[in-house]
Amino acid sequence: MPLINLANAETFVDGLDHPEGVATGLDGHLYAGGEAGQVYRIHYNTRAIEPYASTGGLNLGLALDAEGNVYICTPTLSAVHKVTQAGDVTIYSTGSADRQMAAPNYPAFDALGNLYVTDCGAWKADNGCIFRVTPSGDTAVIDTENCQFPNGCAVSPDGNYLYVAMSLNPPRVVRFPIEDGQKSGRSETVVELPHTVPDGLAFCADGSLLISCYRPDTIFHLQVNGELAILMDDYEGTILGAPTNVCFGGPDLSTLFWGNLGRWHLGMHPSTGLRGNPLFYPDLVQLAQQAVALQAKE
């Protein structure tokens, strides 16, 4: 796929506080976090910015459920917060009894309502891990092998694999099989990305993968045949300013959005020629009730 012309890219909204995470809800709106705890809802049609909640700490990646609740990683508070549509904020998880979260970075749901959370640990300390939080709130570490600053993650469209952007040693994307919220096989490297800091992941409808990088200001496209191409690159760091997370939105998921940790805006490109693969938006209340009923039968 050829390099996309940045002339067709634009600022979707400006004035956000160094947004890293960005995600689309089932309501079609964009959601993002800010450096000082802000949780933003950006109305898709009007582009109105609504800072409707605060976690009180630096916000990174986020995911949404079927009811529009936001689950956002707040590493400065070592917690994943749940934010309702009304703006009520509660702690969703701080880790397990065996291991507390240190620096939760990015969450991703599977169809069963399991929330996979990367904990990047400290920079170059190789002390990261990956947690899983069930719909009932049970939290466990499912992977310590990929400890070299695990960053953004994504559940594969078929739900069989967790893909993780590893920012260090070496910079790469890995994946491992998952089953019933557990790691069920060995990790494998999907692609290496030397001299970069990969950060965010998003699957396209054709099964290819977008990889957004904190450094340099680049979004890569890993095609289904394994070929790695540059989708967009901005040596000036203006429209792409440390593009940390990436997502698709719009009526047919054909508009690409990205957060810019190094700046104050969300970027968008309406005509990349790619469509996003729909994310998992689980009904956690229903799934938790089903789990309780199943346990009662046992």
Q: Which of 110, 199, 217, 234 is flagged as catalytic? A: 199
Question: Quick one: the chain helix, strand, coil %, rounded to 5?
Answer: 5, 45, 50
DSSP-derived letter for residue 7 is G
- Sketch the domain layout of the chain as residue ranges: 6-297
The pTM is what? 0.97
pLDDT band at 1 (very low <50, low <70, confident <90, very high): low
pLDDT band at 2 (very low <50, low <70, confident <90, very high): low
Name the percent of the chain lying above pLDDT 90.
93
SS3 state at 284: helix
Name every residue whose Cβ is closer than 8 Å to that of residue 164 and which is 6 or more positions away in sequence. 118, 130, 146, 150, 151, 152, 153, 173, 174, 175, 201
Q: Is the pLDDT of residue 246 over 90?
A: yes
Dump pLDDT digits (tens) for 123-146: 999 999 999 999 999 999 999 999
Question: Catalytic annotation on 234?
Answer: no
Dump pLDDT digits (tens) for 278-293: 999 999 989 988 877 7
What is the assigned CATH class of domain 6-297?
Answer: mainly beta
pLDDT at residue number 196: 98
pLDDT at residue number 3: 76
pLDDT at residue number 4: 82
CA dihedral 65, 68, 69, 71 (to 10 degrees): 60
Q: Is 151 annotated as a binding residue?
A: yes
pLDDT at residue number 104: 98
Dump pLDDT digits (tens) for 4-42: 888 899 999 999 999 999 999 999 999 999 999 999 999
Q: Is the pLDDT of residue 183 over 90?
A: yes
Q: Is 199 annotated as a binding residue?
A: yes
Question: Using an 8 Å Cβ cutoff, are 47 and 30 in contact?
Answer: no
Question: Using an 8 Å Cβ cutoff, are 195 and 189 in contact?
Answer: no
